[in-house]
Amino acid sequence: MNPFVKASQLKTKLPGYAVARMHALNHQTLQHLAAHHREKFLKAFKYVQTSAIGNNLAGSRGIVSCKVDGIAAYFYWEKGQTPLVFHLPSCGVEVGLPAAEDLGAALEAAGHSSALLACELAVSGGRSHSYEVIRIVNSPASRAELEKLHLTTLDVIILDKQEKQALGYDERVKILQNLPQTEKAHGADFQEVNGSEQLNAYYQRQIEKREEGIVLHDLATHVAYKVKPKFNLDLAIVGYVEGTEELTGNVASIMGALVCDNSYQLVARVGVADPALRERLFQELSLKRVAANYTETDSDGRPIHWVRPVKVMEINGEDAQWNDTDGKPWTNTVLQLVGEQYHYRGQGFILKPFHPTLERIREDKAVQECTFKQINQVTLQLKQSATAKPPKIFLREVFSKTVKGNTAVRKIVAWEQEREDYPRFVLHTVDYSPGRAKPLEEATKATDREDEARQFIDDWKATEIVKGWAKA
């Protein structure tokens, strides 16, 4: 067994294969290196649509590869030890993955002593899907099914105890290409392209093979892009968030839902960027407000005002998935409109769009057409009926402070909920300071204990609301 894994947290799924889902990695340096890489590499990707190839990516010289639809993973191996695969931010671990064992054996046979590699864990044979990977990782039906998982190496962090991140990405790709390749563990299909013609030709080949998209690392700007076709969905507008300060009287964002008779399955909330549209939507939607026994806010703690659905919006996203990284199905709130009031029905199984944006307001489409047929699902499926009270906000406080002529804002919102598989108390904080390199910082804490929630609120105020901060 690997000494860097907390053996007490491992659960055997098959002979020779075990997993631990939370904080099982016992190696702080390894966690730090992977976390730094995740922040600077994996989370730094820019999502763009196909049109970007002929526009802002027209002159790009870079490294491209086919985008693999799996789950992000880090492979770690030292000579004489069992290789492991782990994931961030949970630090969940898999020990005994055939792909990892093959790669560790191949590295040792080639004379290497250690390796920390960024990978994508995916299913071999045809296009992979992340939800299938998650299911196999957590609950493999057989050894043969576990053998389907393969590792695609995307970056090298450490090789033979030497850090490699100071090298250019093209140099790191050459290192990956010179590493031993196995049937279950191998580098991505890296290719160098120069200009939009070569980039578009590579992209079209992948789309024709029904792949998800491509990844481009621009060697001049050192910016990484994920280029994918659009995921589109028409949704009924059932709510809006009003802007604050100079945006008072404007819509900041709108909530969309799929329709099933008089029930509305919430799907996504998207921002409204066009100033003219913000004002027009507010004028129209504010006249359609209805009551609700359900409360929800945006990330700044501003309430969603519910409306009688009369308008349709089209959203697009980079992807949409039915399961989270632990293999659990996504759910969202279902509301039922009775007369002039929404009633909370419970939680419904629904896909989650990633990076959703507003494409347009569809004046040509009726609300009744925003059905589940768009996602190849016949009708609404409730996971949990509304046997408990809906979420209730019990604290919302805003504080401000003037720093060098700029107004900084700190907010805390806390609510209590009774939802199956969800924590009872959720606390969300916002820290906005226009003078920082990263002006907006947010954090969320969840707990089932009221005393912990109250203690967090007290601690947050004691440390964050000190001299100079005034309650708004």
Q: What is the pLDDT of residue 1?
A: 65
- Does a structural domain hold residue 462? yes
Q: Are 340 and 282 in contact (CB under 8 A)?
A: no
In the DSSP assignment, the letter for residue 449 is: -
As beta bridge partners, residue 307 has 289
Return phi, psi of residue 289, to 5°. Answer: -65, 140
Last residue of a domain, one of 370, 385, 400: 385
pLDDT of residue 457: 93
Q: How far from 432 is each of 243, 368, 408, 429, 440, CA to CA, in Å? A: 16, 40, 6, 10, 5
The range of the structural domain enclosing residue 335 comes to 231-385
The encoded tokens of residue 432 equal: 């906005």
C-alpha separations of 149 from 130, 185, 343, 455 in Å: 11, 9, 44, 44
pLDDT of residue 237: 98
Quote the pLDDT of residue 385.
Answer: 60
- pLDDT tens-place string over residues 167-216: 999 999 999 999 999 999 999 999 999 888 898 899 989 888 878 789 99
Residues 6+ apart with CB under 8 A from 413: 297, 301, 393, 395, 396, 427, 428, 429
For residue 43, pLDDT over 90 is answered with: no
In a domain, 2, yes or no: no
- State residue 208's pLDDT score: 84
pLDDT at position 377, please? 61
Residue 467 lies in a domain: yes
Write out the two tokens for 107: 């590295």
Q: How many residues does the chain have?
A: 472
Same domain, 103 and 33: yes
Q: Is 60 exceeded by the pLDDT of residue 387? A: no
Does pLDDT of 415 surpass 90? no
d(CA 431, CA 408): 8
Based on the domain organization, do 107 and 252 belong to the same domain? no
Give the list of residues 6+ apart from residue 334 with CB closer than 8 angstroms, or none.
263, 264, 265, 266, 344, 345, 346, 347, 348, 380, 382
Which of the four pLDDT bands, split at 50, 70 and 90, describes residue 76?
Answer: very high
Kindly report whether the global pTM for this prediction surpasses the value 0.75.
no
- Output 240 or 8, whichever has higher pLDDT: 240
Q: Are residues 169 and 117 in the same domain?
A: yes
CA distance 396 to 149: 46
* Mean pLDDT, range 108-135, rounded to an integer: 88
Strand, helix or coil at 6?
coil
Residue 44 sits in a domain whose CATH number is 3.30.470.30
Split at pLDDT 50, 70, 90, the class of 382 is confident
What pLDDT is stored for residue 340 in this prediction? 92
Number of domains in the chain: 3
Question: If pLDDT is split at 50, 70 and 90, which confidence band does 438 have?
Answer: confident
Give 252-255 contacts, CB < 8 A, sequence gap 24+.
252/278, 252/298, 252/302, 253/298, 254/281, 254/285, 254/313, 254/358, 255/296, 255/304
* Residue 314, CA atoms < 13 Å, CB-side half-sphere: 11
- The residue among 227, 250, 278 that closes a domain is 227
Mean pLDDT of 130-135: 80
**Could you tell me if 144 and 188 lie in one domain?**
yes
Torsion of CA 460, 463, 467, 472, to 10 degrees: -10
Closest CA to 45 of 387, 357, 406, 355: 355
Residue whose structure tokens are 């968030």: 241
Looking at the structure, tell me whether residues 435 and 327 fall in a common domain: no
Asked if residue 406 and residue 260 are part of one domain, the reply reads: no
Given a cut of 70, is residue 400 above it in pLDDT?
yes
Tokens of 390: 């809906």
pLDDT of 386:
56
Are the CB atoms for 35 and 114 separated by under 8 Å? no
The answer on pLDDT for 421 being more than 60 is no
140 plus 179 within the same structural domain: yes
What's the pLDDT at 443? Answer: 80
Residue 339 predicted with pLDDT over 60: yes
The whole-number pLDDT of residue 56 equals 61
Q: In this structure, is the dihedral angle defined by the CA atoms of residues 209, 123, 116 and 79, taken in order, positive or negative?
A: negative
State the sign of the Cα–Cα–Cα–Cα dihedral 112, 118, 121, 124: negative
**Do 11 and 114 share a structural domain?**
yes
Query: What SS3 class is residue 170?
Result: helix
Beta bridge partners of 320: 353
In a domain, residue 336? The reply is: yes
Is 1 within a domain?
Answer: no
DSSP string, 199-264: HHHHHHHHHHTT---EEEEETTT--EEEE---EEEEEEEEEEEE--GGGTTSEEEEEEEEEETTEE
Cα separation, 231 vs 353, whole angstroms: 8
Of the candidate ranges 283-292, 302-311, 427-436, the one whose mean pLDDT is the lowest: 427-436
Q: What is the pLDDT of residue 278?
A: 93
Looking at residue 109, its pLDDT comes to 97
Average pLDDT over residues 108-132: 88
Residue 379 covered by a domain: yes
Confidence of residue 381 (pLDDT cuts 50, 70, 90): confident
What burial class does residue 29 get, using C-beta atoms within 10 Å of its C-beta: 0-12 exposed, 13-18 middle, 19+ buried? exposed
Last residue of a domain, one of 208, 227, 246: 227
Asked whether the predicted pLDDT for residue 117 surpasses 90, the reply is yes
How far apart, in Å, do the first and last CA atoms of the chain sit? 55
According to DSSP, the β-strands at 149-159 and 162-163 are: antiparallel
Residue 422 sits in the same domain as residue 294:
no
pLDDT at 284 over 80: yes
Using pLDDT thresholds of 50, 70 and 90, give the confidence band for residue 70. Answer: confident
Contact criterion met (CB below 8 Å) for 72 and 87: yes
All residues at 6 or more sequence positions from 261 whose CB lies less than 8 Å from its CB, including other chains: none
pLDDT at position 388 is: 53
What pLDDT does 282 receive?
A: 96
**Residue 141, helix vs strand vs coil:** coil
Residue with the bigger pLDDT between 177 and 135: it is: 177
Q: What percent of the chain has pLDDT over 70?
A: 92
Distances (CA, A) of 50 to 47, 136, 194: 10, 32, 17
Statement: residue 327 has pLDDT above 90:
no
Q: What is the mean pLDDT of residues 102-114?
A: 97
d(Cα 118, Cα 74) in Å, to the nearest integer? 5
Specify whether 78 is located in the same domain as 194. yes
Tokens at 92, concatenated:
């969940």
Residues 143 and 218 in one domain: yes
Res 54: pLDDT: 62
Q: Taking residues 330-346, what's their average pLDDT?
A: 92
Residue 33 shares a structural domain with residue 141: yes
CA distance 16 to 9: 15
Q: What is the pLDDT of residues 24-39, one digit of tens each?
A: 888 889 989 998 998 8
Task: Kindly report the average pLDDT of the chain as a whole number.
Answer: 87
CATH code at position 346 = 2.40.50.140
